[in-house]
Amino acid sequence: MRTIRQQLLIYLFGGMVSATIIASIATYIEVRIETNELFDYQLRQIAAALPDEIEAGHNLPVGDEADEEVAVQVWDKNGKLLFTSGPTANVPYTRQLGFISIAVDGVGWRLYTENDHGRTIQIAQPKVVRRELATAMAIKALIPFILLIPILTFLIWYVVGRSMQPLRSLALAVESRSPDLLDALPDDRYSPELHPIVTALNSLLARLGQTLEIQRAFIADAAHELRTPLTALKLQLRLVEKEGDNEMMAIGFKKLHERLNRATHVVEQLLTLALHEKLNPLCGLKKLDPEKLIVDVVSDHALQAENKGIDLGVLSGNNDHLQYIAGDEDSLRIMLGNLVDNAVRYTPEGGRVDVAFHADGNIGQITISDDGPGIPVSDRARVFDRFYRREGTGEMGSGLGLFIAKTIADQHRAKIELGDGKLGGLMVTVSFKLITEPAQLSIEKPSSSKEVLSRVSI
């Protein structure tokens, strides 16, 4: 594929040469026409300049060569030849006035005839002479065009090269960027035509910088969070190896399993964070039934709740008709799963966790309420921070659950709020904007959400 520079040079050179050729041809034809008109005018002037009395032997200037001479003939009213300046020019007598073209012995002549005081004056000129003189003059007129071609060629080459300089400068500026230096390109250095490209490149550099920053943060977080449980696992394993008592070994293995579970949980949360901590809003959203989504998430955590003796159930919102939200089903299940997991994890044994959905105008709200200890108002803003864990909860965690939930909520333009629940503990509210136009997104048909009773324990 040709470069832009090559295409510009080819098209501009081609256009210049074509225009020069067309102009040259037009000039050549025009000069020939004008020259012939000038020669015709000269023939009339010669006829007008002849003296009133002229006879044989009268001297008139002629050309240096016989074929370049202008033949002058004067005839009386009876058709008798009174004078001829070119005896070799056998031009016949004619009574047709004005300009005509004739051929004598295979030679073309341009003949002008007029009557003057009873005389007939004929002025003739060989066409070959007129043609050679006209061609010579036309070629002289083309000399400026011939000289103009190399000048225009150089100007086109120079201007195209200068015009492409901003692109080369932009390419060097982009090439100079590195993963450690992704500064925006200064758009004031480039012509307005390049501003859209510079703007797009700056946007790309910004997104790339944020992506690299997220990767660095993830690597740092993973190294930080995995170092502690893995070190603890290694120490616990050494302690178990030293124990000879079966009972102590059983306790050690129990703690080993706990630490393994914590390490596994941290790895899962880190991988989930790496997958969902994106910069752009989610694409390809589907229309989802939030009540069905709630039932599926609660079902996933039913065994966890049963092991702690927690009454985990779904409250029916008693909505008059189906409501839908736009979202990515897998991401929303992870978000709600983290919220329900936190509620079950921090609710004491024998407690209760209710999950519900209700619509208020064009806003849909999913609430997770529990009768656990809740979160102090002073800590509610910080619990969404990465790796923040409250002291004295008695539960192991990664500090990423609420951070991941908020990240996914932000991607869906949803809002998460923490408040006091009706059960006496914490209530987490996730607010979505409901979809009002059914044709906007593909519909995920609900299967059983309308079959949920006023409260169903899963």
Is the pLDDT confidence value at 292 over 70? Answer: yes
The mean per-residue pLDDT over the stretch 408-426 comes to 87
Last residue of a domain, one of 221, 246, 275: 275
Q: How many CB atoms lie within 10 A of CB 398?
A: 23
Domain that holds residue 327: 281-457
Q: Look at strands 325-327 and 286-288 and give their pairing.
A: antiparallel
pLDDT, one tens digit per residue, over 375-390 is 888 888 788 777 666 6
Indicate the number of domains in the chain: 3
Q: Is 393 helix (H, G, I), strand (E, B) or coil?
A: coil
The mean per-residue pLDDT over the stretch 6-14 comes to 86
Contact assessment for residue 347 and residue 425, using Cβ atoms and an 8 Å cutoff: yes
For residue 167, being part of any structural domain is answered with: no
- Residue 126: the pLDDT is 87
Same domain? For 308 and 373 the reply is yes
Is the pLDDT confidence value at 93 over 70? Answer: yes
Tokens 């490209």, located at residue: 197
Contact assessment for residue 370 and residue 425, using Cβ atoms and an 8 Å cutoff: yes
Same domain? For 287 and 425 the reply is yes
The mean per-residue pLDDT over the stretch 34-51 comes to 85
For residue 416, being part of any structural domain is answered with: yes
Is the pLDDT confidence value at 118 over 60? Answer: yes
- CA-to-CA separations, 441 to 285, 321, 360, 363, in angstroms, rounded: 7, 18, 21, 18
Predicted confidence band of residue 430 (pLDDT cuts 50, 70, 90): very high
The mean per-residue pLDDT over the stretch 58-80 comes to 64
Q: How many CB atoms lie within 10 A of CB 381?
A: 10
For residue 186, being part of any structural domain is answered with: no
Alpha helices in 54-126 (DSSP H): none
Is the pLDDT confidence value at 344 over 80? Answer: yes
Same domain? For 259 and 404 the reply is no
pLDDT, one tens digit per residue, over 218-260 is 666 666 556 656 666 666 667 666 666 667 667 666 666 666 6
The mean per-residue pLDDT over the stretch 289-294 comes to 88
Same domain? For 313 and 263 the reply is no
Same domain? For 401 and 327 the reply is yes
Total number of residues shown for the chain? 458
For residue 154, being part of any structural domain is answered with: no
- Residue 304: the pLDDT is 83
Same domain? For 242 and 358 the reply is no
284 against 326, higher pLDDT? 326
Q: Is the four-CA dihedral 182, 188, 191, 192 of positive or negative sign? A: positive
For residue 104, being part of any structural domain is answered with: yes
Same domain? For 258 and 325 the reply is no
- Residue 354: the pLDDT is 92
- Residue 65: the pLDDT is 44
Task: Give the CA-trace dihedral at 185, 186, 192, 197, to 10 degrees.
Answer: 10
Same domain? For 360 and 452 the reply is yes
Which of 41-50, 282-291, 341-350 shows the lowest per-residue confidence on average (mean pLDDT)? 282-291
Last residue of a domain, one of 246, 275, 304: 275
150 against 250, higher pLDDT? 150
- Residue 352: the pLDDT is 92
Gap between the Cα atoms of 152 and 21, Å rounded:
14
263 against 58, higher pLDDT? 263
For residue 129, being part of any structural domain is answered with: yes
- Residue 140: the pLDDT is 85
Contact assessment for residue 452 and residue 314, using Cβ atoms and an 8 Å cutoff: yes
Contact assessment for residue 372 and residue 424, using Cβ atoms and an 8 Å cutoff: no
Tokens of 2: 């040709």
Q: Is 75 helix (H, G, I), strand (E, B) or coil?
A: strand
Is the pLDDT confidence value at 456 over 50? Answer: no
Is the pLDDT confidence value at 269 over 80? Answer: no
* Cross-strand bridge partners of residue 367: 356, 429
Spatial CB neighbours of 124, under 8 Å, sequence gap ≥ 6: 70, 71, 73, 89, 91, 109, 110, 111, 112
Same domain? For 38 and 138 the reply is yes
Q: Three-class SS string for 300-340?
A: HCHHHHHHCCCEEEEECCCCCCCCCEEECHHHHHHHHHHHH
- Residue 457: the pLDDT is 45
Is the pLDDT confidence value at 451 over 60? Answer: no
92 against 310, higher pLDDT? 310
Is the pLDDT confidence value at 59 over 70? Answer: no
The CATH code of the domain that includes 334 is 3.30.565.10
For residue 184, being part of any structural domain is answered with: no
Residue 445 burial (10 A CB sphere; 0-12, 13-18, 19+): exposed
The CATH code of the domain that includes 251 is 1.10.287.130
Gap between the Cα atoms of 158 and 9, Å rounded:
10
Same domain? For 266 and 227 the reply is yes
For residue 91, being part of any structural domain is answered with: yes
Same domain? For 411 and 447 the reply is yes
236 against 304, higher pLDDT? 304
Is the pLDDT confidence value at 114 over 80? Answer: yes
Last residue of a domain, one of 142, 162, 184: 142
The CATH code of the domain that includes 135 is 3.30.450
Same domain? For 209 and 353 the reply is no
- Residue 355: the pLDDT is 92
Which of 204-218, 273-287, 331-345, 373-387 shows the lowest per-residue confidence on average (mean pLDDT)? 273-287
The mean per-residue pLDDT over the stretch 259-274 comes to 62
